[in-house]
Amino acid sequence: MSEKCKWLHEVLEELSRVRYPFSLEMLPKNGIYFFYEDGEFWGHSSSKMLRIVRIGTHRSDNFRNRIAEHFLLTERKMKFDANRPKPSDRSIFRKNIGRALLNKDNDSYLKIWEIDFLPKRNREKYGRLRDIEKEKLVESKITEILRERFSFRFLIIEKEDERIGSKGLESKLIATLAKCKECRPSENWLGRYSPIPEIRGFGLWLRQHLRAHGIERGDMEKIEILVQKTKEWIRKNW
């Protein structure tokens, strides 16, 4: 699987990498995204190529919204209170970074951070336990980290069943990275402080699909076609 991981990194290098700040209008409506993190390099050669640290997708026409939630491009979402969920309740990526930050500091607030405040019943039951000012400080730090350290590429894939589910590419792509023996996190990687064993063990900001089947020859041929179509879309729309 390491050779396929190497191939995946190399073929995606043909695509432009997006860093903050950027306009949502420059992004497609449907696709799979690949996040890279400064200081995290692949292990397939001595060249300093950034390694993929997270792969994600979305449901119908929601690509831009998912990216906006990760980078917190809608600042009004920071105006939350005990009766409204925090931004990280809408982005598991943000939630995982927050977990690592709190765990690194041995902060007991991690127990409250774990609670999902999207459901009204959780807000009613546990809202009194929240320290909103603390949550806003953590959320601000997460936003700073994402905007300063992370960048991403994308593959345009219009059909949802080609992205998600048993026939989708997302799980296969994640498994391809997870099963690679060469790409390992740096000693300073924040994810090493995650309370989630899968994140620490696999070196990815993920806990799902790590043990799925990786990409096969047919998938690789499909990805090559998608890369060329995405390159053409970028050329026409950027």
Q: What digits encode the pLDDT tens for the residues 110-138?
A: 999 999 999 999 999 999 999 999 999 99
The answer to whether residue 77 sits within a structural domain is: no
Mark whether 133 and 196 lie in a shared domain: no
The answer to whether residue 78 sits within a structural domain is: no
Tokens of 196: 């989630």
Mark whether 185 and 228 lie in a shared domain: yes
Domain total of the chain: 2
The answer to whether residue 219 sits within a structural domain is: yes
Residue 40 DSSP SS3: strand
Give 8-33 pLDDT, tens digit per residue: 999 999 999 999 999 999 999 999 99
Please give the model's pTM, rounded to 2 decimal places.
0.96
| Residue at a domain's end among 127, 147, 167 | 147
Separation between Cα atoms, residue 216 and residue 167, nearest integer Å: 12
The answer to whether residue 122 sits within a structural domain is: yes
Is the confidence at residue 6, as pLDDT, over 90? Answer: yes
Question: Please, which pLDDT band fits residue 147 given cuts at 50, 70 and 90?
Answer: very high
Mark whether 68 and 158 lie in a shared domain: yes
State residue 51's pLDDT score: 98
Question: Please, which pLDDT band fits residue 59 given cuts at 50, 70 and 90?
Answer: confident
Mark whether 228 and 171 lie in a shared domain: yes
Mark whether 120 and 11 lie in a shared domain: no
Mark whether 140 and 211 lie in a shared domain: no
Asked if 41 and 50 count as a contact pair (C-beta separation under 8 A), the reply is: yes
Separation between Cα atoms, residue 178 and residue 214, nearest integer Å: 9
The answer to whether residue 79 sits within a structural domain is: no
Tokens of 101: 């930050």
To the nearest whole percent, how much of the chain has pLDDT over 90? Answer: 95
Is the confidence at residue 60, as pLDDT, over 90? Answer: no
Mark whether 136 and 37 lie in a shared domain: no
Mark whether 93 and 207 lie in a shared domain: no
State residue 53's pLDDT score: 98
The answer to whether residue 132 sits within a structural domain is: yes
Q: How far is CA 130 from CA 83, 110, 115, 196, in A?
A: 10, 11, 10, 22
Q: What range defines the domain where residue 96 resides? A: 85-147
Give 81-101 pLDDT, tens digit per residue: 999 999 999 999 999 999 999
| Residue at a domain's end among 104, 130, 147 | 147
Question: Please, which pLDDT band fits residue 106 given cuts at 50, 70 and 90?
Answer: very high
Tokens of 217: 């020859």
C-beta atoms surrounding 16 within 10 Å: 13
The answer to whether residue 206 sits within a structural domain is: yes
Residue among 104, 128, 150, 130 at smallest CA distance from 114: 130
| Residue at a domain's end among 123, 147, 171 | 147
Give 149-173 pLDDT, tens digit per residue: 999 999 999 999 999 987 899 999 9
Mark whether 103 and 202 lie in a shared domain: no
Q: What is the mean pLDDT of the chain?
A: 96
Q: Which single residue is written with the structure tokens 């498994």? A: 175
Is the confidence at residue 61, as pLDDT, over 90? Answer: no
Residue 68 DSSP SS3: helix
Mark whether 155 and 233 lie in a shared domain: yes
Mark whether 62 and 21 lie in a shared domain: yes
State residue 14's pLDDT score: 97
Mark whether 157 and 63 lie in a shared domain: yes
- Between 1 and 200, where is the model more confident? 200
State residue 165's pLDDT score: 84
